[in-house]
Amino acid sequence: MAAITLTADMPIMLTSAFRQRITRGERLVHVRSVPLTVFVDVHERQSDANHGQSLARIRERGGFDATEMVAVLACLHYRAIKGLSEEAAHRILYAFTSTHNRGMRVAEAAARREHAA
């Protein structure tokens, strides 16, 4: 199994229908990947419960689709969010990753300030 580095991302696969909508020029929020820094041990266990595969193996195989990713990050079985549309899942992932990335930037800035003091 390949090791996952913290600087890598987990790809988000698009369904062919969603990809066609984007190609046609529809203005849709779509997330291509999620930083691996969002994953903690509980997400590894949820990935294994949902798919019988580790996060590293899922990444090797091309990643999650958006709804699967939301389920893993919410620590839910994917059947629990069965009615979630791909479009809504991408919006959730966009908000989630934006918040996470902002938090990482704030933490890095605080660490730099602490180191400089």
CA atoms within 13 A on the CB side of 106: 6
In 14-117, DSSP assigns E strands to 33-35, 64-65
Q: For residue 34, which of 81, 87, 89 has the smallest C-alpha distance?
A: 89
- In this prediction, residue 43 carries a pLDDT of 87
Q: What is the pLDDT of residues 63-117, one digit of tens each?
A: 999 999 999 999 999 889 989 999 999 999 999 998 988 888 888 888 888 888 7
In terms of DSSP bridges, do strands 33-35 and 9-13 run parallel, antiparallel, or are they unpaired? antiparallel
Question: pLDDT above 70 covers what percent of the chain?
Answer: 93
Q: Helix 66-73 to helix 86-116 angle, to the nearest 10 degrees?
A: 50
| Chain centroid to CA 69 | 5
Residue type, 76: L
pTM for the model: 0.81
- 53: region left, alpha or beta (phi > 0 left; psi from -120 to 50 alpha): beta
